[in-house]
Amino acid sequence: MYNAGLKGRSRLSNIGPGNRPQSKGNQEKNLWSSLLDSVASGKKLPEKNLLVLGGNPELQREFLETLESETSRRPQDRRRKKPPIANECALGYTYQDVLDADHDDILARLSVYLLSESSHVYSALVKPLLTPKTISETLVVILLDWADPWSWARQVRDWVRFLKGVIVTMDDECKVTAEETMQEWQQRRRGAAYEGGTATSDAGVHIPLGQGEWDEPLGLPLCVACHGTEKIEALEKDHGWREEEFDFSLQYLRTVLLKHGSSLIYTSLSVPNSLPTLIHSSLGIQSLLMRQTVKHNVIDRDKILVPPNWDSWGKIRVLREGIDVEGISS
């Protein structure tokens, strides 16, 4: 930042073509242009993309509010004007500035694209977002609602088909980039904690893929978020859900998502969770001041978190016996 500022000031010493004397108005105009160019170059931020698929506009807004880090909710930061969320029709858009732990520095600009309908007619809106430059900087989130867990399997299936339909229409350069991105994700090591896009244990040790892992890579990194865990209580009271139903839903999702190398998280606006850390880590956004790790949790049913490259058929079976992982995976 300081270097960019110095460069900006050095350019001001030779204003105008051929160093010819200029009017005061022209000098001031060139001065401001040079200063603005300096500021723009000094504040060039890493650009990341988040493609949120599913959920109605209200659920999407709640999810994005949950994604905001805890520091952005401090009283002194509430004066900051939030970017508007335009998600009422077709492909929506907003953005978030990812702040460091001290809340002074911006680590990255996160562009968020939102789509509620999985109809193939919308694939033409998503395709231009995926270029050789952006594919490796993009994370796809399939957003599910705890108000309707009975439709989760169908929604995941429909969105996977939608993504496959987009990928197949990309040009060869984009397909090569997508394949390279998936290979890079597959090579990331499993570990107890996940940090900055890589697992922190077993570094340098090659772990071969197990059964059911990465059988169907989609070409884009994927995360599935089941939002609204505060509705779990209503499922118990109004629909008679027991531990067996909750466990089966979790095992089913984990088995399906294992094929695509996807992470999984249960979220709620009212319950603290690791959504910001998971999303930012998956996009390679790292705090310069505080080490952030994502630890798995497959026990607390309102705080489930399965990091990418952590799960396996064996771990899924441990939760409850009788699950047919082979049948679900096929």
Average pLDDT, the chain: 84
Structure tokens at 85: 């969320």
Under DSSP, is residue 104 helix (H, G, I), strand (E, B) or coil? coil
Q: What is the pLDDT of residue 31?
A: 55
Q: What is the pLDDT of residue 251?
A: 97
Task: Say what the pTM is.
Answer: 0.82
Cα→Cα distances 268→66, 121, 178, 277, Å: 7, 31, 31, 15
Rounded to whole angstroms, the Cα distance separating 29 from 35 reads 10
Structure tokens at 190: 């499993």
Q: What is the pLDDT of residue 80?
A: 63
Helices (H), the chain: 2-11, 24-42, 57-67, 123-126, 152-168, 172-187, 232-239, 243-259, 275-282, 313-319, 325-329
Q: What is the pLDDT of residue 29?
A: 56
Cα→Cα distances 1→89, 137, 168, Å: 39, 23, 42
Q: What is the pLDDT of residue 258?
A: 97
> pLDDT tens-digit profile of 238-293?
999 999 999 999 999 999 999 999 999 999 999 888 999 999 999 999 887 777 78
- The lowest-confidence range among 55-69, 101-115, 128-142, 201-215 is 201-215
Under DSSP, is residue 225 helix (H, G, I), strand (E, B) or coil? strand
> pLDDT tens-digit profile of 7-64?
443 333 343 444 445 555 565 556 556 545 544 544 578 999 999 999 999 999 999 9
